[in-house]
Amino acid sequence: MKTIFVVDDSDTSLLTAEESLEDHYQVMTIPSAAKMFDFLEKFTPDMILLDIQMPEMDGFEALERLKSNPSYNAIPVIFLTGYKDDDIEARSRELGALDIITKPFSPSALLERIEAHF
């Protein structure tokens, strides 16, 4: 079973993603990008769903760190964001994000987008 890290500072987003995906994937919910890097030292997921706006380290900074590390740079990353903005989409693609899913997302739409990328 493939493993997905869901990294978001919103408990609601973490819960919705977990409930949407748990029948199809092993889901690990992580409340911050800094904690995600702690998990990555022990385990490599098949995909990361990464919120853009988080305190301490935002999704852009986290993606830059992922892509600059040969151990993690091949992990596909889909951004989660509450904002629909052309600048955010452009920067996301420049940094190497696979896709962007706008919050709040429906469980079925989230699953369909992930499955399309796998």
**Domain of 96: which CATH number?**
3.40.50.2300
- pLDDT at site 28: 98
Q: Is the pLDDT of residue 7 over 90?
A: yes
Q: Is the pLDDT of residue 3 over 90?
A: yes
Confidence of residue 83 (pLDDT cuts 50, 70, 90): confident
- pLDDT at site 45: 98
What average pLDDT does range 71-76 have in this prediction?
95
In the chain, count of helices (H) and strands (E)? 5, 5
On whether residue 47 sits in a domain, the answer given is no
- pLDDT at site 44: 96
User: 89: domain range?
Assistant: 33-39+56-102
On whether residue 4 sits in a domain, the answer given is no
What average pLDDT does range 26-39 have in this prediction?
97
Q: What is the model's pTM?
A: 0.94
Count of the separate structural domains present in the chain: 1
pLDDT averaged over the chain? 94
Closest listed residue to residue 49, CA positions, set 17, 90, 71: 17
